[in-house]
Amino acid sequence: MSKIILQEVLFLILLVGFSIPLGLFMYKVMSGEKVFLTRLLKPVENCFYRLMGIKAEEEMSAKKYAFSVIIFSMAGFLFLFLLLLLQGILPFNTEGMKGLSFDLAFNTTASFVTNTNWQAYSGESSLSYLSQFLGLTVQNFVSAGVGIAVLFALIRGFIIKEKKAIGNFWADVTRAVVYILLPLSLVVAVLLVSQGVVQNFSSYKEITALQDGAAQILPMGPAASQVAIKQLGTNGGGFFGMNSAYPFENPTSFSNLLQMLSILLIPAALLVSFGKAVKDKRQGRTLYAVMMILFVAALIFTTVSEQYTAPSYAGVSYSGNMEGKETIHGVGMSSLWAVVTTAASNGSVNAMHDSLTPLGGLMPLFLMQLGEIVFGGAGSGLYGILSFVLLAVFIAGLMVGRTPEYLGKKVEPYDMKMVCLLILVPPLVSLLGTGAAVLMPSVQGWLTNSGAHGFSEILYAFSSMGNNNGSAFGGFTANTPFTNITGGVIMLLARFIPLIAVIFLGGNMAGKKPVAASEGTLSTSNGMFAGLLIGVILIVTALSFLPALALGPVADYFTTR
């Protein structure tokens, strides 16, 4: 156990250490300042603007910004959807994959456009290389880019004074992809190949096994390039069905560490960018501390559960719960990954979450249900927690009878309506989806486990899609027309309603006159506020999900102990 604690502490130190310089870098990039890559990449950026026919300095209203996001996402949706349907007649298809069925193509497209990366398919048995690199890889980049862009639109809302403009979406998404995601991915991808993640366009390799001479098929493909951005962009969709548990996707303990850092790196760094952007580092630090407290609590809970609550057997030495875990990752790195991937809205796995202990599996589920705000998705994590900040400020304002304000801007009814959309849509669609699935007559046939754990499989699936995470209890049969269509719609609602609400929130904030802080202003950068914020987050989530959690993992724990 002491080794596991050492691993986890060192991991967090590395994360914080890398996030600070990257955060400052990202702030500069997103505000159009010069960075060390400018000389190299400015021509690329300018070429983008010229061909798009836009001017980067031309600021947009919230309406125009939102409209641009929607049209851009729809274009991406259409392109990917057609690619998946038609892959059978397109090139780079060494294994002769057929086009996906309509409902599976819809689900997969929705999943990748929304940065969820829920996978109802298995890459190596359903997708051509073309679909992977030309379709999925690209959406991995741009969906993360959109998240970062929209976050900065909101941040500008707080810092702009009395102007109804929040930046240019095309410039934001271009900068996020070209300066941040692409260079980082290139470095990570090459490091991953050096560890043994495959990267080629060969056909699958047939091998004769040593013992019986039985044939073994080894899947191939351009995996490393996609795995790098799947982690950095908090996407999470595996190149192979078994995701980062599959050795071709995550072969060594170094690749494992690198991928875990990549998952949390950008969401953590954005907190630093935020502090810099609002010219008050304490604001960023407070949110960083809040996330870190929730993260560490979740980590301790999961690790202890995995290490100590597995069943023991006579004649077997006890070493925690190794079911569904790889030898090289062990209990420690598997527990850490499970928390990392669900705290961020990543959803890649290096262990089978279905085979976590009941309480060990409760925490990843709960982290998703928090709304992906403990670091969360690239961009979406920070705008998610900012909505909780406004809610906390609002509640505190009600208690003392003052108009609440945040970062010098008054929080008014319009803003709170946007906050409600942000906070309430994900739990609503998660629970409605779970409820609908439970009512399906055929639902028993979709489950691997029975009883309370079976219910957890359903709850996990819809919480994952309803919060744009994408991880799964693997025993749940995802590829059914019902889950594909319902899940696809849920993912789209859970992504785009909050996203649009954020843009309008930013637009409304931008138009306001800043108010000077007075003695009566609630400080949002001290311990008391951090405590209030954690309280608000936990209460909202508990009110939404406790009944469902009681029927799932909690009941599972008490009935199988």
Question: Which residue type is seen at 255?
Answer: S
| By the rule CB under 8 A, 319 interacts with another protein | yes
Spatial neighbors of 545 by CB under 8 A, at least 6 apart, are 366, 369, 427, 431, 463
Q: Which of 93, 449, 521, 525 binds another protein (CB under 8 A)?
A: 449
* Residue list 74-133, contact with another protein (CB under 8 A): 74-76, 79, 133
Tell the residue number behind the tokens 């990752």, with chain if given.
Answer: 329
Q: Which of 229, 298, 505, 522 binds another protein (CB under 8 A)?
A: 229
Residue from 120, 171, 172, 179 nearest 151 by CA: 172
Tell the residue number behind the tokens 């999900």, with chain if given.
Answer: 545
| By the rule CB under 8 A, 186 interacts with another protein | yes
Give the whole-angstrom CA distance, residue 278 versus residue 466. Answer: 31
| By the rule CB under 8 A, 482 interacts with another protein | no
Closest separation between CB of residue 129 and another protein, Å? 9
* Residue list 416-445, contact with another protein (CB under 8 A): none
Residue from 270, 210, 262 nearest 23 by CA: 270
Tell the residue number behind the tokens 């799964």, with chain if given.
Answer: 472
**Could you tell me which residues are beta bridge partners of residue 383?**
none
Closest separation between CB of residue 53 and another protein, Å? 6
Q: Of 254 and 535, which CB lies nearer to another protein in the complex structure?
A: 254
Q: Which of 15, 30, 310, 411 binds another protein (CB under 8 A)?
A: 310
| By the rule CB under 8 A, 366 interacts with another protein | no
Question: How long a stretch of residues is the chain?
Answer: 561
User: How many amino acids of this chain bind another protein (CB under 8 A)?
Assistant: 119
Q: Which stretch binds another protein (CB under 8 A): 16-24, 195-203, 367-375, 421-429?
A: 195-203
Reported as type and span, the H/E element at residue 405 is: strand 405-406
Q: Of 177 and 269, which CB lies nearer to another protein in the complex structure?
A: 177
* Residue list 515-534, contact with another protein (CB under 8 A): none
Which one-letter DSSP state was computed for residue 445? Answer: G
Site string for another protein, 483-522 (x = CB under 8 A): ----------------------------------------
Give the whole-angstrom CA distance, residue 184 versus residue 179. Answer: 9
* Residue list 137-176, contact with another protein (CB under 8 A): 137-138, 140-142, 170, 173-174
* Residue list 15-44, contact with another protein (CB under 8 A): 44
Question: Which residue type is seen at 423?
Answer: I
| By the rule CB under 8 A, 211 interacts with another protein | yes
Give the whole-angstrom CA distance, residue 347 versus residue 148. Answer: 18
Please say whether the beta carbons of 473 and 446 come within 8 A: no
- How many other C-beta atoms are found inside a 10 Å radius of the C-beta of residue 425? 20
Q: Which stretch binds another protein (CB under 8 A): 156-164, 213-221, 428-436, 514-522?
A: 213-221
Q: Of 107 and 225, which CB lies nearer to another protein in the complex structure?
A: 225
Give the whole-angstrom CA distance, residue 372 versus residue 317. Answer: 37
* Residue list 323-352, contact with another protein (CB under 8 A): 323-330, 332-334, 349-352
